Amino acid sequence: MQVRRINTVDTLTLRRDVLYPDQSLDAVKVEGDDDGLHFGLFEQSTLVGVISLFLERVSARFRKLAISPACQGKGYGSILLAHVEDFCRRERIPSLWCDARDSAFGFYEKRGYVYDSAPFKKGNNTFRKMKIELGQASAQKFSVIPAIDIIDGKCVRLTQGDYAQKKVYNEHPLEVAKEFESIGVTRLHLVDLDGAKKGSVVNWKVLEAIAGHTSLVVDFGGGIKKEDDLRIVYENGAALATIGSIAVKEPELFFSWVKAYGADKIFLGADVKEEKIAVGGWLETTDLTIYDFLESNIKEGVHHIFCTDIAKDGLLQGPSIPLYKKILERFPNIDFVASGGVSNMEDIYALQEAGCNGVIVGKAIYEGKISMEELKQLMK
């Protein structure tokens, strides 16, 4: 996957086919096209996405973001938009805007764009101007994602995945989730440890309660081995399904899920020991490197990814920042979340500085190493 500069003519076919299928190529040109900066997203040698950027005095406008129909739902639009946002930051352009179609409002809202006009019509379509202040985007881009691990319907934590080293923190996970929501948290990482042990989803009622009584964006994992498990997870309110071992052991099955449900509904978990992928509750280390594993999955459109260094998890000894930096150098365009080892706020700031998009935090919160007040301040 590569983003590179292209010329105006290169954009027109995809722009026309996706946005204006009944128009001629000449008809989809816009005023000032030859003065714009045009970027293409290539999958190997095939152009699969385009976007055009027009620089103004104190802002920039992007137009005609178009992704090949065969590649939609794989996060390619986010990759192109992130590239343009980063370009503007490097050029010290303070804000970026577009006239967004109503069908895309949600997409831009998730990236931090806000409405900057009343709705208006162009032909048969409704639009609104949407804008982002790029100085704010870097702060919004990083997410702190509290983890709730569930055994017997209770909120627990394990040390290095060992069920014998279990500590119960709260018997009512919904109360914990509501407390996180009350301080401004928007994401939650929910892990069904009973399901992971059994090999099928067990604690779906906890998911249903949290998704039904909070507005948190929940990713849910543990025991997702069959498509029936996946359906249970989505039907009970998960925004994303967390998948780990299946992606290693049965990649073709996993890729079929990515294709069927869309990459935006999948949160790929990579458990790592000395840069090799581990499975089976961390008891089995494979010969597959984290880099080869990620490369094969990214080629299939996977882009929401978190990585846990199992030597760090639950020990409160600091995260594996050198590992994460290596991953991000190799795969700069993924939505990458760190997991494991966080012991204080300084670790969170260090992960943000390293380029991670977010961090999953569990034990440090429950053991009081990171206070709810500190989290609240970070959410502002």
Query: Which residue numbers are catalytic?
Result: 149, 271
Q: Residue 321 in contact with residue 336, Cβ under 8 Å?
A: no
Find, among 187, 199, 202, 200, the residue nearest to 148 by Cα: 187
Q: Concatenated DSSP letters for 100-169? A: EEGGGHHHHHHTT-EE-S--EEETTEEEEEEEEEHHHHHHHH-EEEEEEEEETTEEEEEETTEEEEEEEE
CA distance 306 to 290: 11
DSSP state at residue 302: -
Beta bridge partners of 208: none
Q: How far is CA 228 from CA 210, 223, 234, 264, in A?
A: 21, 11, 10, 19
User: CA geometry: angle at 245 spanning 277 and 107, to 5°?
Assistant: 100
- Phi first, then psi, for residue 37 (nearest 5°) are -105, 125
